[in-house]
Structure 1
Amino acid sequence: MREKRLLTPEELRDYLGRDKVGRDLSYELARRYGVRLGRRWLVPLRVAEAILEGRLEEIEKTPGMGPRGR
Structure 2
Amino acid sequence: MPKYHFEIVDGFRLEDPVGLECANDAQAKDLARNIAHQIAADIAGHSARNVVVVNDNGDEVYKTKI
Does the TM-score normalized on the shorter chain lie above 0.5? Answer: no
Q: TM-score, normalised by structure 1?
A: 0.28
Larger relative helix fraction: 1
More strand by share: 2
Higher relative contact order (CA 8 A, sep 6+): 2
TM-score of the superposed pair, with normalisation by structure 2:
0.28
